[in-house]
Amino acid sequence: MRRALSLLLAAALLTTISGCRDRVDLENVTLMLMMGLDLDENNKLVIYASSPVFSKEAKEKNEVTQVNAETLRDSRGKLEARVSALISTGKLQNILVGKKLLQHPGWIKLLDLFYRDSKTRINARLIAVDGPVGEIMYFAPANKRRLSLHIAKLVDTANERNLVEKATLFEFNRQLLERGKMPIITGLRKTKREVVADESILLDNSGMYVGSLDLEENEILQILQDDQISDLSLTFLLPEQGANKDKALNLGALSCYVVDVKRKVRTGYSDGRFRFDLDFRLPIRLTERLFSFDVQKDTAQLEKQIDKQLQAQMKAVVDKLQKHAVDPIGLGLFARAYRYRDWKKVQDQWGEAFKNADIRIRVRTEIIDMGEIR
């Protein structure tokens, strides 16, 4: 009897409590979909927030606000004083970081909030912006959907085609902490009419900006990393077929899909330098050939011409990376795996060691398909 009474009392009390404190109805949330971090003219931190507006009465479907703040958390109160409801980062899609901020030492410490707060979406894309971040944040092209979602889709699909690298907050943290591999993130820029994702930004292990790779270079990097996501399409100008960069129409061009990347890495160490032998075997599928050639008969000849071009391009990319002393390929992982003692000595200056390393590349392509016509 007493037990039942106390149970009843407990049940009655249950109805009076307000529930969990973190209860926020969806309509009381300002879902921050895109966040911008940049330095203004006075070298002060600016935080931008872009979030959707649900109300039918609002003319624009997106609200963008900017505040000056010391840290990200500090910005929240200031943002909430401006936007329509309570700010939430639970569905954060993109974090745009200005190039100016990327060149400022210690900027990555700002990201601490995202990693510490369990409610933040750890899969938000980290994107570098060439130029002022505000321009993109306030940009509202009429022929695109909400820019925050457009950028998210743009980066995802460009990454799927191996055109740019993509790093989520989670992935970025991993790359940052990994000594044998340097972070590389998506680069975005704004033209007059649209937003373009055609760069990958090279960062060193402290997150500082060191350089950038364009579309073609990134494709080559994907091969070097053995990390191609889907069909990787390359176009070559073969000088043997009369290609010449200055012509309006280049009939010596050839395009192909790289179906698969078979990479073999041999690691060596001599005279205080690392040496990496990278052997690639690439089955390719011809998708475009503007010159006439009997592929069935002279396969080896064409393969050789392609190899030569590809090898030169790869060499150029590696040279560029070595020049910048950053290793997004992850050769440090091989050094650690196969030459641990030597690695141990240079592990904290892997960038320098990579710069001095002797990297040799050999490429052998193999045409496995030439398309429907001869």
**How far is the C-alpha of 75 from the C-alpha of 67, rounded, in Å?**
7
Are 126 and 95 in contact by the 8 Å Cβ rule? The answer is yes
Smaller CB separation from another protein, 18 or 270 = 18
Please name the residue ranges forming H helices in 280-361.
299-324, 331-338, 340-346, 350-356
- Least spacing, CB of residue 135 vs another protein, in Å: 24
Q: Which residues contact 282 (CB under 8 A, 6 or more apart)?
A: 223, 258, 259, 260, 261, 262, 310, 363, 364, 365, 366
- Least spacing, CB of residue 121 vs another protein, in Å: 7
Smaller CB separation from another protein, 94 or 313 = 94
Of 97, 98, 95, the closest CA to residue 132 belongs to: 98
Which tokens go with 334? 């091989």
Smaller CB separation from another protein, 24 or 316 = 24
Smaller CB separation from another protein, 148 or 218 = 148
Smaller CB separation from another protein, 148 or 162 = 148
Neighbours of 291 (CB within 10 A): 14
**How far is the C-alpha of 158 from the C-alpha of 222, rounded, in Å?**
13
Q: Which single residue is written with the structure tokens 């129409």?
A: 249
- Least spacing, CB of residue 140 vs another protein, in Å: 16
Q: Which single residue is written with the structure tokens 């292990």?
A: 205
Smaller CB separation from another protein, 54 or 138 = 54
- Least spacing, CB of residue 5 vs another protein, in Å: 7
- Least spacing, CB of residue 86 vs another protein, in Å: 12
DSSP string, 145-201: S-HHHHHHHHHHHHHHTTSS--EEHHHHHHHHH-TTS--EEEEEEE-SS-EEEEEEE
Smaller CB separation from another protein, 34 or 346 = 34
**Dmax of the chain from CA atoms?**
99
Helix, strand, or coil (residue 255): strand
Smaller CB separation from another protein, 3 or 192 = 3
- Least spacing, CB of residue 309 vs another protein, in Å: 42
Binding residues vs another protein (CB under 8 A): 1, 4-5, 14-15, 17-20, 22-27, 29, 31, 33, 52, 54-56, 90-91, 93, 119, 121, 149
Smaller CB separation from another protein, 31 or 96 = 31
Which tokens go with 43? 């070298």
- Least spacing, CB of residue 93 vs another protein, in Å: 7
- Least spacing, CB of residue 85 vs another protein, in Å: 10
Neighbours of 105 (CB within 10 A): 9
**Number of residues assigned to the chain:** 374
- Least spacing, CB of residue 175 vs another protein, in Å: 25
